[in-house]
Structure 1
């Protein structure tokens, strides 16, 4: 009996010892939160409540540098969507991510040297502040009992690196003064700030520019109420993706969402200069390229110069619209359209008209003027443009109500030379643009249209006669 008791005590002691050893040897915590008393060590991670995202230290292959990153918890190989200290890696063999005494979330090395900080001015002590990883992929700094997103002290969504996730905002916030944008890494193995950025230009009629060292390489075209006018792939065709654009006195931003939360999608500014949207295919266990830009010759900024129109359905791709001619005939003949087009005749204000162009990517719009009266239709826009002798073109600001803007939606007026236009096939998208031309050019265009229509009708009559004969 005594031996049995000894055996029982020994078993209990051994079990307790094993449990203690097991608890202290776990390299990662299952919690989603870091507190002032519970920092994150180099060999630990936190996982969002729904096990969608994971945060921890990560070292690229063949590197001693350590970065605090967020990645998808269940996807292999590891897909990183955010890096805290991308330009200040930890190079010591140990470090911590913790709540600092000033309330900020910081990365420190083994000697408590500051590597990275959220760098906020916080009025309260750190005792009631936590950092939490959400299922959206957002890493937020907040007061312990305050779950209101409006009261976050800091959030990673306001400081994107190279990836835009569903719910993230690309653009300007008046409250914080931030203009959130994507910047590529230097390479697949080096997440430090690279050459390429994808940034919303809030001047004029807002649109997004892809730049290399601040030089424009590609632009999205402005938002027309349905999509960016230069991204026809955004047309809804049963996609799980939704897109939104907000422009008011407090915010100007673009974001996207998903109608199915089981689907993963991300927009990546790659180190090669390509903007790539990926969607995760669960059955194939791979990231599928969904869309990318720039994708063809006409996506290159100013490919056909001033007043030139780029059209991949034509050969050569550059053309001058009616009333214009190539500025450099020799270069144009050698299929170099960068010098663009010039007017054949100067228009006389009050004795001119407008050439309608369909399925257009609207011109570069940094200096465009937005007349934001939603009741204004295209006829109203024309009247506004006619009264301004500097007006070179106009279009509807918002085509979501009437398709072409004829029923209202506000106006966009250009008073400078028109740059980086593109024409799509009817099935692709784009919208109507009206360019100011001289009265003489309008007469010539009208005569040409009449001749083509007359010729077409004559051919149809001839064909009918032949069919009647046989």
Structure 2
């Protein structure tokens, strides 16, 4: 029995070893991937140790751009063939050599360089540590520091998602956190191999009438706005070409007393997507298995119509027209000479000023909404009341639906000039521009266009009918005149309606041949003379054709 027991014992041990070996071979992450670091541990450049998120999508560690001797602590996509960085801790204070250590000190993460000088830190206010503190790389790429006994996101002591660099990842937020006073925005790399802060930022502008994101070029210490997102319409920002209906991506926008923020989520975790700002552009990249590289989903700006102030006030940019800039109906170019030279930056002016009474609205379809600096919003009213409210304010120049979902709710109102309008081919919103009643008479839109067409056709058809009647009456009159000019005479008989004389007689031969009877006309005076003024003496008889006289 003891021998049998040993056999079973060795067999069980051998099976366990096989399973363990299989797990190591086919699931190396179970034995090598670590996503947490305790206060007693550290990461160093020399050890080449990294943290890998659960699922193996993201990796945190030290890296050195090719051709440079500087070192950085960062996060990158682990499974993408071309290393793509999503976050850099010490982007503006790199390590000058390969000596670097990341560790937890109290309730702070610190990056130490040569001689243990602090290169980067989370810089949190010191407090009594209630329990052990750990650093953790989450599956979504967020690097957090928390108490070991609290995994709730609201209890994070610090997180990298609050300090984005040039990339927005799924579940990361851009915008303002009013509780902490923090503004989260993207900043480009200085160059493709230099992660230090570049000149371009993508940030939320809350100084306008409605919050919207803007692409800024910080040139010579000046903020030059390059592109704007337009206001959120309940589904998307009107100036960003996000594609709705994708079943693997969801867009979120929050605006309340605690925050104004934008984020997106992936419903299919096997598909990667990221939003990145670089020199002059904002790009969305995606990666769909089995591809190992990135595909450019969209990029801004895409054409001249995305350039700010390409077309001036009260004009809109349309790539399907020539020139691209178009005055809104009821407006004319402010500078005709520059306009004719394809310079639409001076914009357009009204042909008739608003009267504040009797004005109406022209509807423009598929528009990116104007700049919101002079805009306000009322989310409480029904769309049907938007026109009435705008007309009650003499300074209101335009309005649009604030939320396009479920048939529309609330309104955005503009006062002052309308600038930065673009016409889209399919997407966009309806924009209602206020016009004087005099301009609406000839700039009324689709309904009046159809009415004018119907009236034009009616007038044309009527004129053709009148002309046809006139021509027919003239032709009938000529026919009657021609009949009144002659009376027929057949053989030796005279008909009162027509006058006809025989030119040849009918000859009969043995073969009963008959020559054609040809009749000729004679003057009426000759008939009168021949009948002695139609004397009864010459009267032969009377028949169905009238009285017959002998000649």
Give the TM-score taking structure 1 as reference length: 0.86
Q: Where does residue 241 of structure 1 map in the other structure?
A: 249
1:457, distance to aligned residue in structure 2 (A): 8.2
Residue 270 of structure 2 is aligned to residue 262 of structure 1: yes
Query: Is 1:304 the equivalent of 2:311?
Result: yes
Q: Which residue of 1 aligns with 2:341?
A: 334
Q: CA deviation at 1:202?
A: 2.5
Q: 1:398 to 1:267 in 2, by over 3 A?
A: same
Residue in 1 that maps onto 2:472: none
CA distance in 2, matches of 1:432, 1:60: 48
Q: Does structure 1 residue 128 correspond to structure 2 residue 132?
A: yes
Superposed, 1:91-240 pairs within 5 Å as 91-101=96-106, 103-125=107-129, 128-203=132-207, 204-213=209-218, 214-236=223-245, 238-240=246-248
Aligned pair count reads: 425
Task: Summarize deviations over 1:85-114 as a string: whole Å, max 9, x none.
Answer: 11010113311111123x111111131101
Deviation per CA, 1:109-145: give whole Å up to 9, x if none: 1311011111122423396111110010000111111
Aligned partner of residue 445 in structure 1, secondary structure: coil
The higher relative CO (CA closer than 8 Å, separation ≥ 6) is in 1
Contact between 2:401 and 2:410, CA under 8 Å: does it hold in 1? yes
SS at match of 1:455: helix
DSSP 3-state at the match of 1:429:
coil
Aligned: 1:412 with 2:412: yes
Partner secondary structure for residue 442 of structure 2: helix
What secondary structure, in the 3-state scheme, does the structure 1 residue paired with 2:406 have?
Answer: coil
Q: Counterpart in 1 of 2:541?
A: none
Shift of 1:284: 3.0
Give 1:39's aligned residue: 42
Contact 2:400–2:411 (CA under 8 A) maintained in structure 1: yes
Does the aligned pair in 2 maintain the 1:377–1:396 contact within 8 Å? Answer: no
Question: 1:36 Cα shift?
Answer: 1.5
Q: 2:436 aligned to 435, 438, 441, which one?
A: 438
Comparing 138-147 and 124-133, the one that deviates more: 124-133
1:88 corresponds to: 93
Which residue number corresponds to residue 323 of structure 2? 316
SS of aligned partner of 1:444: coil
Q: Which has the larger radius of gyration?
A: 2
1:252 to 2:260 alignment: yes
**1:300 to partner: Cα distance:** 0.8
Given that 2:361 and 2:432 are in contact with CA atoms closer than 8 Å, whether structure 1 keeps it comes out as yes
Specify whether residues 378 and 127 from structure 1 end up closer, same or farther in structure 2 by C-alpha distance, changes over 3 A only: closer
Unaligned segments of structure 2, at least 5 residues:
1-30, 462-551
Aligned pair 1:72/2:73, yes or no?
A: no
Q: Residues 99 and 126 of structure 1 are in contact (CA less than 8 Å); yes or no, is this contact kept in structure 2?
A: no
In 1, Cα distance between equivalents of 2:33 and 2:422: 52
Q: Could you list the runs of 5+ residues in structure 1 that have no partner in the other structure?
A: 1-27, 464-470
What is the rounded CA distance, in whole Å, between the counterparts of 2:254 and 2:117 in structure 1?
41
Cα deviation, residue 456, structure 1: 6.7
Contact map agreement 2:166 2:188 (CA 8 A) in 1? yes
